[in-house]
Every structure is written in structure tokens, then in C-alpha cells.
Amino acid sequence: EVQLVESGGGLVQPGRSLRLSCATSGFTFGGYAVTWVRQAPGKGLEWVGFIRSKTWGGTTEYAASVEGRFSISRDDSKSIAYLQMNSLKTDDTAVYYCSRYNTTWFDYWGQGTLVTVSS
Amino acid sequence: DIQMTQSPSSLSASVGDTVTIACRASQSINNYLNWYRQKPGKAPELLIYGASSLQSGVPSKFSGSGSGTDFTLTISSLQTEDFATYYCQQSSSTPLTFGGGTKVEIK
């Protein structure tokens, strides 16, 4: 069974950093891209970024709203992806989901982890 | 960036009804269009990928159509678990973008 489990969310002050983890199981992690999507309270879904598999260079792409502040990495030996969030703003408050990016769609999602940026 | 516009933003329907949700892209995305259902407090679930392909395990009452810039999601025989918010999403180019969502409510 494919599973993705996010962790690392919580309350953080503006300007500080936080790292989210996405632990996966049930599939060959190294063969897939992983993406992060967020959802602000009461709002719609917003793509944050993704990391390609090593086969495709392991490269990353990001939404303009987080470019330069957030970075995604992966540890294929542990089947875990990470979202490093720096210089956090109140607008970054959201539930953050990781998802497996299969070809061109998000086919499996984690349950999400809430990040609250507030002083 | 490719903008995705869904209509309507909300609709009311009864159990057993058939509903159709539209999604329009600001430029051609071929068939790089996916649909998701999100129940309250839960993660999104993939329903349709590639505009019209049904995700494994998803009942056939969900169907998608369209190509280029105009797409539709049709849900037949609405059940209580289908009262949720639906999102379209394009994967033609980055940044990947979602529509604003369509909330399907019980009449």
C-alpha cells in the first residue's frame, strides 16, 4: 500500500525556518518525483514545488511565491522527501501536503501537516 | 503562468443527481488536465488524469472530457460522499496550477 506521511509542522515565528518531512512507503521512491502542495485556511490548493527523480536529474522547480526561500530535497536511501522553509511569512500559513508525482498527475497524497506562521 | 478557471464556484444538488463542472485554461494545455476531489478536512484524491482517464479504484460515475482549453468533469448518481470540493489542475507547464475549486453542496 502506497503511503506518504508528512511531519514537522507547527507554530513558528515570522522570519524563522522549518523543515517538513515526507516519509513514504509501498513504492519504489527513487523512481518518482515528489511534489509539495499547500492549502491556506479556507482557501484552494497551491502548488509549492517538486523534485524530480534522480533518473531525471533530481532537479527542482518552485512556485514564484516560495522561490529562493523554500527548497526541496530527497533521500532515496530513506524514501523521504524534505521541504526546507526559510524566511517564513504569515502568508505561508497553510496545511502542507506531499504527493507522489506520477508522470503528470498527483496520484497519492499524505494527510498533510499544518504550519502556522505567527508572532 | 497558465490560469485555470472553474465554474461554477459552487452548486447545490440532490443525492442521485448528475452534475457537471467546467474548467478552462488560459492557453492550450492539450490533455494535461487532472481532477481531484477533496472532502472536508481531508487530503485531495485523484479522480481523473490526462483529461479523461479514470484513476484506478475510482468509480465509473466520474468521467472527464475535453482537450485544449476546455474541460468538464461529470459526476453521475451523486452520493453523500461526493458532496465535496473539486479541483482541476494543469500539468502542461510549470508552475503547475489549480483551478479555484467547485464546492458541491447538498440541496
pLDDT tens for each residue of A39-79: 999 999 999 999 999 999 999 999 999 999 999 999 999 99
Whether the predicted pLDDT of A5 surpasses 90? yes
- Contact (CB<8Å) A109/B95: no
- Contact (CB<8Å) B99/A44: yes
Closest CA to A111 of A24, A19, A16: A24
Other CB atoms closer than 10 Å to residue B33's CB: what's the count? Answer: 31
State whether residue B71 is helix, strand or coil: strand
How far apart, in whole angstroms, are the C-alpha atoms of residue A12 and residue A88? 8
Q: Which residue among A37, A50, A105 places its CB closest to the CB of B34?
A: A105
Q: B102: distance to nearest CA of chain A, Å? A: 10
State the count of interchain CB pairs (< 8 A) between A and B: 55
Closest CA to A51 of A69, A64, A70, A65: A70
Average pLDDT, rounded, for chain A:
98
Residues in chain B predicted with pLDDT less than 70, given as ranges, are none
Other CB atoms closer than 10 Å to residue A43's CB: what's the count? Answer: 12
Please, which residues bridge with residue B74 across strands? Answer: B20, B63
The answer to whether residues B27 and B1 touch, using CB atoms and an 8 Å cutoff, is no
State pLDDT tens for residues B5-14.
999 999 999 9
- Contact (CB<8Å) A61/B34: no
